[in-house]
Chain A
Amino acid sequence: MEATKVLDAKGLACPMPIVRTKKAIAELEPGEVLEIHTTDQGSKSDLTAWAKSGGHEILEDVEEDGVIKFWIKKGE
């Protein structure tokens, strides 16, 4: 999937994945897509709830070799 920007949050523990995601998405325009890589097992629930609250859309998430990847489309 085409992403405007990729955020490497691998190895970071709670609360850093959402803190970094917030900063990264602030630099995007609405409709643009942020790709995030994390290894924190809680980040799937965290980012799903965070995106919902902020009006962003999770387009896809996959897990491979312990790395969880998300594609989040920035909301209006």
Chain B
Amino acid sequence: MAEKKKTTIVLFSGDYDKAMAAYIIANGAAAYDHEVTIFHTFWGLNALRKDNHQPVKKGLLESMFGKMMPQGAAKLGLSKMNFFGLGKLMINKVMKKHNAMELPNLVEMAREQDVKLIACTMTMDLLGLQKEELLDEIEYGGVGAYIGDAEDGNVNLFI
């Protein structure tokens, strides 16, 4: 069989709707039998956070950052019409009605389909996020890891 095609996505955004788009494309590409990589950087890292508090040692700034940012995929807000979380509640309701998968389930499905999830270590440092706070069994890397996958990618997206 021919070598597998590749899809790589940079998830920079920490918005629920944008992360949803990224994960839907990733799952679709996996169904196309592509090797799929999602490289999470800056606010996109929040999609990988565990939803419960992890006991890690942090400085004051890092602690503040950690508290101000959404803790996990379910907690991300909408990029438009969020209305302090009210818009998010409304869209969750509409999504249930239309059987659309919620973001945490899309992340889970991506993992089942062997989508490679990478957390950018440089921005983890900037935002004060530690490995213990992110989902288990993901990979860590920098621009080198991303370009390594993207240079022979057939679909490359920045979201």
Measured CB to CB, the residues of A under 8 A from B are: 11-16, 18-19, 21-22, 46, 50, 53-54
Number of interface residues of B (CB under 8 A): 14
* Choice from B30, B99, B113 contacting A12 with Cβ under 8 Å: B99
Chain B, residue nearest A53 (CB): B32
* Choice from B24, B33, B98, B99 contacting A22 with Cβ under 8 Å: B33
B113 surroundings in chain A (CB, below 8 A)? 19
Main secondary structure of the interface of A (DSSP, over half): helix
Is B31's CB under 8 angstroms from A18's CB? yes
CA distance A19 to B110 in the complex (A): 10
Interface presence of B159 (CB below 8 A) = no
Given A18-B28, A46-B28, A54-B33, 15 new contacts (CB under 8 A): A13-B99, A14-B28, A14-B100, A15-B24, A15-B25, A15-B28, A15-B31, A18-B32, A19-B28, A19-B30, A19-B109, A21-B31, A22-B31, A22-B33, A50-B31
Measured CB to CB, the residues of B under 8 A from A are: 24-25, 27-28, 30-33, 98-101, 109, 113
Is A50's CB under 8 angstroms from B32's CB? yes
B32 surroundings in chain A (CB, below 8 A)? 18, 22, 50, 53-54
CA distance A74 to B128 in the complex (A): 49
CA distance A13 to B109 in the complex (A): 14
B91 to chain A, nearest CB (A): 13
A-B contact pairs, 10 of them (CB 8 A): A11-B99, A14-B28, A15-B25, A15-B28, A18-B32, A19-B28, A19-B109, A46-B28, A53-B32, A54-B33
